[in-house]
């Protein structure tokens, strides 16, 4: 691995970190790239790209399938990545960490493999009004298939969960699943997972956490959170696409039916009957995203070296600055909680201008932000809008990029005046 541009510290140097990311070496429409859309996907540092290249060039083979050198090297790298990622979230054991295609696939795995066998009429599945569709639609679907009730914890006007409504939401039903994001991808709201997990367990329910927007940005400790399952994606945390991870409590994973069926996940296959392998193999049917998992491990090394505390602090400062500057622009509406209770995500609208138009004019200035419903249509319904603009920050984001966003919005307003 090539040397890091930074050493662990609380205050990170985003300008130095940026030098690790080749994407910033180009101009967009003749301007330096201001990438303010890391919540959708993050860019990749050389340290990760180098590991991917060298893995393919020197060690690539299929895993758990051969007794020759390349297969052994590949298996070692793949299982090494599992260990790193498991310890990144303080999982009690690496075998409880399943490689998936994405956070979406991890949540679907739990909804199908746990939900279809454990839910039925009279049971209640609880999500929130903040959820990304990935942690909403699978539960809505599985509740519908099994006859369970599907309910939402409401939001208050500040974009935070109304915890005093929990008992009303349960409404005398048999709550079996509470599924919540740790950080909202639309509003940046940080949800009180420990508290929700305590409530879920009092009801006899499992607590499922969508950590897609949390794992890249803050230290995750599944044992301290007290959850039962936690899903996240590599591509949002400096790693490759097409790989993610699902952590689950060992005893739950062991008791569950498999999700995908095929090679590697079996103990024995007979015409009469097939039996399943041990976890994690039981949930890893077929050829896995091998190099991607190894790259995911390298991404976790990179984030650990920069320091999750420093990353969280940096993004927090940027969010506070962005909220302040955006709040000064007449006609801008901001959504979500105050800076001290949100992550590095800021959603807003500019009066009379559709977010797609805002985003397109900003692109002429080399500024990339997201415009749309952010896969959160129930939240948009709640906010009474069809879409918002969203700026989101990461370890390589500079305050100067927020200044450029503010200047860009003045231009947008002139174009549509
Ligand atoms: C909160 C949240 N959950 C889940 C997902 C889905 O992630 P993926 O598309 O990597 O499966 C996203 C992606 O934007 C997200 O923001």
Q: State the closest ligand 1 atom to the C-alpha of 236, by its place in the atom list counted from 1.
A: 10
Answer whether residue 218 is part of any domain. Answer: yes
H or E element at residue 230: strand 229-233
Among the candidates 238, 271, 304, a domain finishes at 304
Mutate to test the pocket of ligand 1, among 110, 213, 392 (most ligand atoms within 8 A of CB): 213
For residues 277 and 397, membership in a common domain is answered with: no
Residues 272 and 380 in one domain: no
Cα distance between residue 155 and residue 31, in whole Å: 39
Q: Please report whether residue 105 resides in a domain.
A: yes
Whether 3 is in a domain gets the answer no
Regarding whether 338 and 259 lie in a shared domain, the answer is no
Considering only CA atoms, which residue is closest to atom 7 of ligand 1? 103
Query: From the CA of 104, how far away is ligand 1's center (Å)?
Result: 6
| Alpha-helix runs per DSSP H in 328-398 | 355-364, 377-383
Both tokens assigned to 347: 């959603």
Distance 134 CA to ligand 1 centre (A): 6
Q: How far is CA 61 from CA 75, 118, 258, 294, 299, in A?
A: 8, 38, 25, 12, 21
Question: Are 144 and 183 members of one domain?
Answer: yes
Question: How close is the Cα of 414 to the center of ligand 1, in Å?
Answer: 34
Q: Compute, in angstroms, the gap from residue 40 CA to the centroid of ligand 1.
A: 8
Residue ending a domain, among 266, 284, 304, is 304
- The rounded distance, in Å, linking the Cα atoms of 157 and 152 is 15
Distance CA 200, CA 206 (A): 6
181 CA: nearest ligand 1 atom: 1
Q: Catalytic residue, from 227, 238, 375, 376: name it.
A: 375
Token pair in block for residue 324? 């302040």
Residues 193 and 237 in one domain: yes
pLDDT at 271: 97
Are residues 174 and 93 both part of a single domain? yes
Number of Cβ within 10 Å of residue 252's Cβ equals 17
> What pLDDT, on the 0 to 100 scale, is given for residue 205?
98
Residue 409, CA distances (Å) to 51, 114, 385, 406 in order: 39, 47, 19, 5
| CA 317/CA 401 separation, integer angstroms | 13
User: 167 and 244: one domain?
Assistant: yes
328 and 231 part of one domain: no
Distance 270 CA to ligand 1 centre (A): 38
List the structure tokens of 247. Answer: 């952590």
Question: What is the pTM (predicted TM-score) of this model?
Answer: 0.96
Using CA atoms, how far residue 387 sits from 50, 113, 140, 347, 354, in Å, is 38, 33, 22, 10, 8
Do 257 and 363 belong to one domain? no
Same-domain status, 55 and 174: yes
Share of the chain above pLDDT 90, in %: 96
Residue 44 lies inside a defined structural domain of this protein: no
Pick from 212, 218, 390 the residue to mutate for probing ligand 1's pocket: most ligand atoms within 8 Å of its CB: 212
**Which ligand 1 atom is nearest residue 41's CA?**
14
Same domain (yes/no): 387, 317 = yes
In a domain? residue 124: yes
What pLDDT tens digit does each residue of the chain (417 aa) get? 444 444 445 789 999 999 999 999 999 999 999 999 999 999 999 999 999 999 999 999 999 988 899 999 999 999 999 999 999 999 999 999 999 999 999 999 999 999 999 999 999 999 999 999 999 999 999 999 999 999 999 999 999 999 999 999 999 899 999 999 999 999 999 999 999 999 999 999 999 999 999 999 999 999 999 999 999 999 999 999 999 999 999 999 999 999 999 999 999 999 999 999 999 999 999 999 999 999 999 999 999 999 999 999 999 999 999 999 999 999 999 999 999 999 999 999 999 999 999 999 999 999 999 999 999 999 999 999 999 999 999 999 999 999 999 999 999 999 998
Q: What is the CATH number of the domain that holds 365?
A: 3.90.1150.10
Domain range for 277 is 51-304
pLDDT tens column, 289-339: 999 999 999 999 999 999 999 999 999 999 999 999 999 999 999 999 999
Q: Which atom of ligand 1 is nearest to the CA of 131?
A: 1
Same domain as 223, residue 108: yes
Pocket of ligand 1 (CB under 6 A): 40, 102-104, 132, 134-135, 181, 185, 210, 212-213, 233, 235
Phi, psi of 150 (to 5 degrees): -120, 120
| CATH code assigned at 271 | 3.40.640.10
pLDDT for position 9: 53
Query: Among 256, 271, 304, where does a domain finish?
Result: 304
CA–centroid distance, 130 to ligand 1, in Å, is 13
**Shortest-distance atom of ligand 1 to CA 106:** 11
* Residue of 101, 104, 182, 344 with the most ligand 1 atoms within 8 Å of its CB, for mutation: 104
Total domains in the fold of the chain? 2
375 classed as catalytic: yes
């Amino acid at each position: 691995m090539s040397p890091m541009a930074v050493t662990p510290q609380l205050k990170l140097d985003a300008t130095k970190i940026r030098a690790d990311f080749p994407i910033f070496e180009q101009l967009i429409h003749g301007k330096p790239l201001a990438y303010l859309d890391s919540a959708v996907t993050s860019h990749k540092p050389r340290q990760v790209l180098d590991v991917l290249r060298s893995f393919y060039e020197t060690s690539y083979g299929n895993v758990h399938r051969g007794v020759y050198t390349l297969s052994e090297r590949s298996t070692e790298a793949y299982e090494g990545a599992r260990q790193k990622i498991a310890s990144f979230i303080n999982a009690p054991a690496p075998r409880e960490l399943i490689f998936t295609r994405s956070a979406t696939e991890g949540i679907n795995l739990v909804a199908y493999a746990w939900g279809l066998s454990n839910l039925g009429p009279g049971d209640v599945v609880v999500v929130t009004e903040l959820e990304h569709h990935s942690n909403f639609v699978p539960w809505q679907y599985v509740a519908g298939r099994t006859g369970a009730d599907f309910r939402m914890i409401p939001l208050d006007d500040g974009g935070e969960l109304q915890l005093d409504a929990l008992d009303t939401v349960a409404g005398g039903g048999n709550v079996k699943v509470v599924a919540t994001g740790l950080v909202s991808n639309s509003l940046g709201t940080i949800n009180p997972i420990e508290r929700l997990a305590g409530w879920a367990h009092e009801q006899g329910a499992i607590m499922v956490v969508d950590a897609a927007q949390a794992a890249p940005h803050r230290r995750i400790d599944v044992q301290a959170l007290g959850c039962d399952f936690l899903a996240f994606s590599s591509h949002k945390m400096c790693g490759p696409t097409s790989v993610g991870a699902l952590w689950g409590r060992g005893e739950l994973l062991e008791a569950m039916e498999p999700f995908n069926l095929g090679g590697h996940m079996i103990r024995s296959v007979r015409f009469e009957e097939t039996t399943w392998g041990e976890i994690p193999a039981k949930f890893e049917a077929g050829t896995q995203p091998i190099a991607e998992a190894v790259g995911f491990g390298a991404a976790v090394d990179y984030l650990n070296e920069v320091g999750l505390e420093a990353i969280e602090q940096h993004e927090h400062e940027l969010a506070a600055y962005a909220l302040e500057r955006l709040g000064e622009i007449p006609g801008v509406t901001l959504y979500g909680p105050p800076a001290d209770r949100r992550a590095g995500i800021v959603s807003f609208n500019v009066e009379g201008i559709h977010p797609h138009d805002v985003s397109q004019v900003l692109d002429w200035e080399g500024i990339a932000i997201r415009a749309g419903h952010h896969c959160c249509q129930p939240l948009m319904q709640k906010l009474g809008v069809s879409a918002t603009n969203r700026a989101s920050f990461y370890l390589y984001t500079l305050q100067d990029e927020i200044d450029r966003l503010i200047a860009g919005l003045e231009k947008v307003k002139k174009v549509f005046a």
